[in-house]
Chain A
Amino acid sequence: MPKLVIDTSKITDIPAFLKLCPFGALYEKDGKVDVSAACKMCRICVKKGPAGAATFVEDEKKPEINKAEWNGVVVYVDHEDGKIHPVTLELLGKAKELAAKINHKVCAVFIGSEITDNAEELLHYGCDEVYVYDNPALKHYIPELYTAVFENYIKTNKPCAILVGATTTGRELAPRIAARFKTGLTADCTILDMAENTDLIQIRPAFGGNIMAQIVCPNNRPQLATVRYKVMSASERTDAATGKIINCSLDGIDLNTTTKVLEVVPKQKVTTIESADVIVAVGRGLKAKEDIPMIKEFADLIGAQMACTRPLVEAGWMDAKHQIGLSGRTVRPKLIICLGISGAVQFSAGMNNSDIIFAINTDPNAPIFKTAHYDLVGDIYEIIPKLIAQIKEGK
């Protein structure tokens, strides 16, 4: 196996050398430096230490797999009771792009019960082949069952790469498939690309988003990646259906499971502002409680949760659970639109990590504009009704 060999005699300054390791894996014992199990094989000590102090010794090369045997970029069709999750269409858009680079086909794998009719829809999004496993035994998503079916698909079709939506079910299914095939899986990729040699280039945030890591799976197939909803772009729906639906047999698939689904209760939408992807926040620029419906209409149009600053809670206009800020909740949505909010530190500390921040304020010097990415100087009472009209027109 590859390992690090430390030659203490080459180290001029031992304490400084020990400090090189960001994981604290280097230690000195009886005047000799060695590596502990904390080592992550980052090899910084090799690069940064004195020449010859740390050496990375590689193994003999493992036999290389024949990548040409693995063809196709595949998307797992995420659904609940046949209703296709939109992340699927986004992944198909990406799969098309990746497949085009290496001249592979784009496939979808759809597992469930009474889903064949819905599979048709996928042919409008550039699938070359939709593999459908439709059977009453697959009515409920049970990890072992769906893994067994997917295993059958992989063994029969040998796909190059598999993209799975990072939904509750996808995040559970993808690791089971990866472990079953002893292959690599990268979670929550934000950028995907395809190398000429069919290696999927996967980029994902690490350490809470403070670092990006580029990951490849160079000697295993299939390659698996999960991607969150709203990270990739769906391609436009085409009027004509292209590609074909392939109904797959369940013969030879072990559908035994001891897991029983006892009940499925459709959820009432109770969402908190912390979990919202899009937030419309309103502040003291709002003149009366009666104006809240206008803001609500706008929020509903863009699928946003309503939130507010502290004064509105104190005035009793909105509930405390909608308050953003140090004395309220901390949010990190993909988009936040701040309406008539001046942007006191106590407020912005609760939302300044949001991905995209819009602010509308009449005062061009409002502190919120220092936090926001899009500073819209104007009056919410003029802009919002017009914006509502614009969005309605566009829909």
Chain B
Amino acid sequence: MNIIVCIKQVPDTNKVEVDPVTGVLKRNGVESKMNPYDLYAIETALRIKEEKGGTVTVLTMGPPQAEAVIRESYSLGTDAGVLLTDRAFAGADVLATSKALAGGIDIIGDYDLIICGKQSTDGDTAQVGPEISEWLKMPSVTNVTAVHEITDTTITVSRELPEASEKLMLTFPCLISVEKDICIPRLPSYLKKQATKDREIKYVTLKDLRDNAPEGYGLNGSPTQVQRIFPPEVNDHCEVWTGTADEIAIKTANKLKELKFI
């Protein structure tokens, strides 16, 4: 049972601002961390490994500094790490990102299951997982809340829909994105950290990929373009309503209706 977990290094904080005049992003420092949702994906993989044996390989795309999240995953118990890093991957949107990750998965090869976290805290799209499965032409299911039975060829999971819970059986190889509540992630182990400090991290660049035509990656391979960024309107609106209870009640009812809450 070999598992690949896709992880991402994200900024430590979302507190970024746009300079309203220049439209430039103001970021204080570049502290980063492992995308918190990915900890659940890693934990899910480790628990499956503990039950079924096999390996857990983590895959990430980013600058060389993203090695840090692979090291962190080693201290949790993962076996190997692959870092996709190349300037050709820069400026990738969801499509180009998922294509590069699918290429990395192809290089790792020999896998049964791919696990992704629910979403990243910086992009917040939750789209990369399903797009990877499309590139790899395999079944996928998102919002997985529990892993049940695993056989040599299948995995049975639960997922939550707004009005129902579903139990699904998928055939390997397949991809699942797990919800945050699926399990409680373990803490990093100091002993594991020490034991893995020299463990190799495999670097993969564009030329290593099976499809290594640069136009499919990074900014060039991204159908979407960010035209501009701007600060959101802040809701510093404040109205004081006084009057009789009747007046306030009518005004409130009208306002709630206008705001589409009734």
How far is B67's CA from A36's CA once the two chains are assembled, in angstroms? Answer: 14
CB <8 Å contact, A217 and B223: yes
Q: How large is the interface on A (under 10, 10 to 19, 20 to 34, 35 or more residues)?
A: 35 or more
CB <8 Å contact, A143 and B139: yes
Contacts of B52 in A (CB 8 A): none
Contacts of B122 in A (CB 8 A): 206-207
Decide yes or no whether B210 CB sits under 8 A from chain A.
Answer: no
Nearest CB of chain B from residue A193's CB, rounded to whole Å? 12
CB <8 Å contact, B261 and A335: yes
Contacts of A390 in B (CB 8 A): 249-250, 252-253
Decide yes or no whether A68 CB sits under 8 A from chain B.
Answer: no
Nearest CB of chain A from residue B74's CB, rounded to whole Å? 21
How far is B219's CA from A59's CA once the two chains are assembled, in angstroms? Answer: 11
CB <8 Å contact, A38 and B163: no
Decide yes or no whether A394 CB sits under 8 A from chain B.
Answer: yes
If A208-B124, A267-B165 touch, whether A1 touches B240 (CB-CB below 8 Å) is no
Decide yes or no whether A278 CB sits under 8 A from chain B.
Answer: yes
Nearest CB of chain A from residue B154's CB, rounded to whole Å? 8
Please give the number of chain B residues whose Cβ is less than 8 angstroms from any Cβ of chain A in the complex: 99
Which chain B residues in 4-36 approach chain A with CB under 8 Å?
11, 14-18, 22, 24-27, 30
> What total count of A-B pairs have CB within 8 Å?
300
Q: Which of B168, B227, B252 contacts A358 (CB 8 A)?
A: B252
> Which of A7-15, A253-261, A310-318 touches B?
A253-261
Tell me if A's interface is mostly helix, strand, loop or mixed: mixed
Decide yes or no whether B86 CB sits under 8 A from chain A.
Answer: yes
CB <8 Å contact, A179 and B249: no
Q: Which of B27, B90, B126 contacts A171 (CB 8 A)?
A: B126
Bitwise, A64-86 to B at CB < 8 A (1) or not (0) is 00000000000000001001010
How far is B256's CA from A383's CA once the two chains are assembled, in angstroms? Answer: 14
Contacts of A358 in B (CB 8 A): 252
Decide yes or no whether A387 CB sits under 8 A from chain B.
Answer: yes
Nearest CB of chain B from residue A282's CB, rounded to whole Å? 16
CB <8 Å contact, A207 and B24: no
Show the binding face of A for B, using Cβ within 8 Å.
1-3, 22-25, 35-42, 44, 47-48, 59, 80, 83, 85, 140-141, 143-144, 147, 167-169, 171-176, 178-180, 182-188, 201, 205-220, 230, 233, 257-267, 278, 301-303, 334-335, 355-356, 358, 360, 364, 369, 372-379, 382-383, 386-387, 389-391, 394-395
Closest 9 CB pairs of A and B: A41-B91, A208-B14, A38-B63, A184-B223, A179-B134, A382-B245, A386-B249, A184-B224, A258-B171
Show the binding face of B for A, using Cβ within 8 Å.
11, 14-18, 22, 24-27, 30, 62-65, 85-91, 93-95, 98, 121-131, 133-135, 139-143, 156, 159-171, 174, 214-215, 218-220, 222-232, 235, 237-243, 245-246, 248-250, 252-253, 255-257, 259-262
